[in-house]
Structure 1
């Protein structure tokens, strides 16, 4: 059943993890190098990746003998590290972004939007939220992603580098809190 509280929670969690606003400097750089960003295609490809992983991800885990609660804790550690990256301004994960190839799929749809952190978060959310609410949260995020990609030039001039940095730090703190909640909830479930 649709649950507004769950939808809002999932939407905010995914928005923080995807961090499309925090990725604006990379998106702006790619737009300058390639001439334009194919917002519609990038958004569609991201959505296909996220929704596919929502349904197939758990089966892949079962293939390796891993339960969703354990994967949720592992995902929480990744979310925690992403939050630390955002707050401290340090790179923990090696960047896999390149500027060659189809700019709408690589690197924007994957790994920038639907990267390891996002996919891990989606499967981790299955441990706590209903699938229908996760799908609605993904769709709402796809709308936000499309809007940000489409208006990246306008956002660059309005926010400035200081504004983008403040947003990045705020979402970093939110991610740390989410990670701690996921760890606490899923570790208690095992006892």
Structure 2
């Protein structure tokens, strides 16, 4: 998750005259949605993979590619989302498109499935869940205060943070791709 970058994207989607109270509601609804989505994926995500006959390593490669594309767009500054329906309420936009797919997209889905697959037991799953929930809380507070952050950082500061996060996401993407390709190659060559 890139809360500062996502906050900038979300502010461009939401009403330009959004109040502090309205953005609090949007931040809460978005965070609630991504936490529910996390638990749905961690509980039923592997089942969905089995139903479609997908290998976790194929998902690693695909998830890595999606993350890589997202990282490249973060680095190049090409993240643009527009809402064509001006009549939508800000709270409706909190779920779609802000929570899903902007915050909780295929890259995050893939990351959760991969981390769950690599978990050794309940303690690892609990650690993943706690780490995700802590990230969601951080996301909530940053998104809730994004109007202030936008004023403080300015456009240049937001661009720098987004590009740095893009580098980190890109490195994670490369790790996923290499790990998945190597494991798939080994399984097909044996």
TM normalised by structure 1 equals 0.80
Q: Displacement of 1:167 after TM fit?
A: 0.6
Equivalent position to 1:32, from 9, 12, 16: 16
Q: Displacement of 1:187 after TM fit?
A: 2.6
Q: Displacement of 1:48 after TM fit?
A: 0.1
Please give the root-mean-square deviation of Cα atoms over the aligned residues, in Å. Answer: 2.1
Unaligned runs of 5+ in 2: none
Contact (CA 8 Å) 2:61, 2:177: kept in 1 or not?
yes
Aligned to 2:71: 83
Contact (CA 8 Å) 2:61, 2:180: kept in 1 or not?
yes
Equivalent position to 1:62, from 35, 43, 50: 50
- In structure 2, what is the Cα distance between the partners aligned to 1:111 and 1:87? 19
Unaligned runs of 5+ in 1: 1-17
- In structure 1, what is the Cα distance between the partners aligned to 2:163 and 2:77? 9
Contact (CA 8 Å) 1:72, 1:124: kept in 2 or not?
yes
The answer to whether the aligner puts 1:153 opposite 2:147 as a matched pair is yes
The answer to whether the aligner puts 1:163 opposite 2:157 as a matched pair is yes
Contact (CA 8 Å) 2:77, 2:159: kept in 1 or not?
no
More helix by share: 2
Change (3 A) 1:43 1:80: same
Deviates more, 1:176-185 or 1:129-138: 129-138
Could you list the runs of 4 or more consecutive aligned residues of structure 1 that deviate by over 4 angstroms after TM superposition? 94-99
Deviates more, 1:69-78 or 1:180-189: 180-189
Contact (CA 8 Å) 1:68, 1:126: kept in 2 or not?
no
Contact (CA 8 Å) 2:61, 2:176: kept in 1 or not?
yes
Q: Find the structure with the greater CA-based Rg.
A: 2
The answer to whether the aligner puts 1:107 opposite 2:103 as a matched pair is no
Deviates more, 1:70-79 or 1:28-37: 28-37
Aligned to 2:118: 128
